[in-house]
Amino acid sequence: MAVARWRKKFLTEVTEKLVQLGLKSCPVCNSDTLGAKSWPVMAEIGGLHSAKDMQSDEEQNVLFLVGVECSSCGHLMLFNSERFRTGDEGTLVKGLTHEEEAEAEERGLWDD
């Protein structure tokens, strides 16, 4: 699987939503230096899978989590990206630089 990171637009939406929901400061140290990570955290669910299972659909049993980290104490909060997804809109960018992503966005190459 190619290296992937969140679409900038998606990450902005997620952080806005979390602030709306009341996440304004770190629950551990109370600092407001929270930042969403660009890279998805992948968690395997439902136990161990054989290599054969994984080949049929590599994303089948994997949750993609958005990590929000406090830069003061390092507390890392994970949120299920599926809760923030609207429709089939793509949330991950694979193999593009930030510049290429911005260009694709401008040219309307995304589905939405």
Residue 51's Cβ-count burial label (10 Å; 0-12, 13-18, 19+) is: exposed
Q: In angstroms, what is the minimal distance from the CB of 43 to Zn ion?
A: 22
Check residue 40 and report its DSSP letter. P
Nearer to Zn ion, 75 or 85 (CB): 75
Nearer to Zn ion, 63 or 77 (CB): 77
Q: In angstroms, what is the minimal distance from the CB of 71 to Zn ion?
A: 8
Nearer to Zn ion, 73 or 102 (CB): 73
Nearer to Zn ion, 66 or 93 (CB): 66
Residues that bind Zn ion (CB under 5 A): 26, 28-29, 31, 70, 72-73, 75
- Residue 27 CA to residue 98 CA, distance in Å, equals 31
Q: Which residues contact 49 (CB under 8 A, 6 or more apart)?
A: 61
Q: In angstroms, what is the minimal distance from the CB of 5 to Zn ion?
A: 23
Q: In angstroms, what is the minimal distance from the CB of 34 to Zn ion?
A: 8
Q: For residue 79, give the nearest of 8, 28, 21, 30 by alpha carbon.
A: 21
